[in-house]
Structure formats: C-alpha cells, structure tokens
Amino acid sequence: MLKLDCCVIENGNFTLSADIQIKVGTRVAIIGPSGAGKSTLLETIAGFRDLKQGQIFWNGRQISNLHPGKRPMAMLFQDGNLFPHLTADENVALGLRPNGRLTKEEQTQVRSALDRVALHGMGERKPSELSGGQQSRVALARVLVQRRELLILDEPFAALGPALKAEMLDLVADLVAETKTTLLMVSHDPQDARRIANQTVLVADETVFAPTQTEELLENPPPSLRAYLG
C-alpha cells in the first residue's frame, strides 16, 4: 500500500496537502485542473521533490528519504524518457543495469521486453530513428525490465494521437496487469481515466483528495472537478 501520511508539499508559492492511501495493484488516475499540482505530487512521490511535512510509506516502509532511484517505482516523464545517443537496446538495458554490462541472460530479457512492446528487431535504432509511438514503447519496455512495484506516468503519451495514445494506455494496462504493478498516472482526459484506471484521485484546491471509484467520481463530480470538466 502507498501511503501519504499528512504530507505537505511546497512548490513556489503554493502548497499541496495529501493524506491518502492507495492499495497495491490498483490503477489510479490523477486528475484535476491545470496547475493544481498533479505533476508536483508525482514528482514528490518519485523523490524529485522534498516533502515539507509528513512521510511517504510503501507497504509500511518509509520511503520519503530515499534517493529517487532507490524507491520502488519507475517513472515516465512528459518528455526526455530516452537518452538520444543510446540505441533502443541500450536504453532498455539501463532499466536492468544502470551501471554495468548485461549478462547474456539479461540481454535476452531486454530483447523479449522489446518484443513484448512490438518492437521486434528495432533494438539497434536510436530514438531519432523511431516514431513517437515507438519511442514510448521503448520507454515502456524499460519499465517492464525494471520490475518496480509502482509505475508513475506523468503524461508520457500526451504528444501522441488519440488512437496511438489509447493503444499505449491499453499496453500499459496489460503490462501492469501482467506484472501486478500499481499504477499512478496523471491525466487530462477523463476518457483516459475511464479507459485504464479503476480509481481516481482528484487534485484541486491545494488538496489531494482520497481515491474514489473512477466511474463514481466522473458521474458525480464535486464542484471543483465539475468546473474543470466543463
């Protein structure tokens, strides 16, 4: 279980308070008005921002003082998810061994991860030689080999077309289901939330609200969400 215990996050002149729990294996969409602090929340969970107050726990273990790379989570950012000078193979390999050479066995893992995201035979290509969708797939293949218990998506597919984005979300849904990974994803689009997330967290009015069933929330949105959904 991911637990944000009386957390207060400060970002410039606004603060965000969060006191929520998310069960293992759930797929959670984070929605809310632009500028409400969705990305700030994810960055804090992932360790790129310090908490002002409170603590973060994962399955009872306090993780809020851990280095980002030591936290049990993988994260995909809005952009810059691949190193442009490394091939797809090498980018994926970083998920297994960020600091060393792969064993034969691990190389096989890399290849099968690329196969799994339908990039068979494209391991030698560099990101600039891949389409946007293919770049996202490489990043997902890396997430796959990372085998972290929590996956955090900060709108990595925002630049993709609707069909492609839906395809990616379905792929993410499949992958997290296969690996029993907990998913946290920021979304602007309620349809995305419906498509993939069984629970939704609303971030609004400097507060992170407790997760509720996605359908329920979207059917009966609170005022702040209603203003956002229009």
Partner 1 sequence: MAERAQPVSQWPGIGAAALVAALILGTLAAVAARAETSGGFTSADWAALRFTLTQATMSAFFSVALAIPVARALARRRFRGRRALIALLGAPFILPVIVAILGLLQVFGRSGWISDIMGVFGLPPIRIYGLHGVVLAHVFFNLPLATRLVLQAWQEIPAERFRLAAQLGCNGMAMFRLIEMPMLKRTLPGVLAVIFAICLTSFAVALTLGGGPRATTIELAIYQAFTYDFDLGRAALLSALQLALTAATALVALKFSRGDGFGTGLDRALRRWDGGLPAIDTFWILAAAVFLMLPLASVVISGIAGFFDMPAIVFRAALISVLVAAASTAVLLLLALPMATAAASGRYGFVELSGILGLAASPLVIGTGLFILIRPIANPTTLALPVTALVNAAMALPFALRILVPAAQDITARHGRLALSLDMGKWTFFTRVLLPRMRPQIGFAAGLGAALSMGDLGVIALFADPQIATLPLQIYRLMGAYQMQAAAGGALLLLLLSMGAFWLLDRGGRWHAEA
Binding mask 128-167 for partner 1 (x = CB under 8 A): x-------------x---x---------------------
Which structure tokens are listed for 167?
Answer: 């395809």
Four-residue CA torsion sign, 113, 181, 66, 139? positive
Binding mask 197-216 for partner 1 (x = CB under 8 A): --------------------
CB atoms within 10 A of CB 85: 10
Number of chain positions touching partner 1 (CB under 8 A): 30
Instruction: Tell the smallest beta-carbon distance from residue 109 to partner 1 (Å).
Output: 15
Q: Which of 125, 126, 194, 195 binds partner 1 (CB under 8 A)?
A: 126
- Phi, psi for residue 195 in degrees, rounded to 5: -65, -40
Angle of helix 132-146 relative to helix 104-116, nearest 10 degrees, comes to: 130
Give the separation between CA 207 and CA 210, rounded to whole angstroms. 9
Give the separation between CA 206 and CA 18, rounded to whole angstroms. 9
Note whether 13 binds partner 1 by CB under 8 A: no
Q: Which of 59, 79, 161, 216 binds partner 1 (CB under 8 A)?
A: 79
Choice between 79 and 206, CB closer to partner 1: 79
- Phi, psi for residue 76 in degrees, rounded to 5: -115, 130
Using CB atoms within 10 A of its CB, is residue 37 exposed (0-12), middle (13-18) or buried (19+)? buried
Instruction: Tell the smallest beta-carbon distance from residue 225 to partner 1 (Å).
Output: 29
Choice between 77 and 228, CB closer to partner 1: 77
160 in Cβ contact with 132 (< 8 Å): yes
Place of tokens 């080999």: 145
Q: Which amino acid type is present at position 25?
A: G
Note whether 12 binds partner 1 by CB under 8 A: no
Place of tokens 């992170």: 208
Q: Which amino acid type is present at position 142?
A: R
Choice between 80 and 222, CB closer to partner 1: 80
Instruction: Tell the smallest beta-carbon distance from residue 85 to partner 1 (Å).
Output: 5
Q: Which of 21, 83, 178, 229 binds partner 1 (CB under 8 A)?
A: 83
Give the separation between CA 8 and CA 163, rounded to whole angstroms. 37
Instruction: Tell the smallest beta-carbon distance from residue 89 to partner 1 (Å).
Output: 14
Which structure tokens are listed for 118?
Answer: 């339908």
Binding mask 86-115 for partner 1 (x = CB under 8 A): x-------xx--xxx---------------
Q: Which of 9, 46, 117, 185 binds partner 1 (CB under 8 A)?
A: 46
Footprint of partner 1 on this chain (CB under 8 A)? 46-50, 67-70, 73-75, 77, 79-81, 83-86, 94-95, 98-100, 126-128, 142, 146
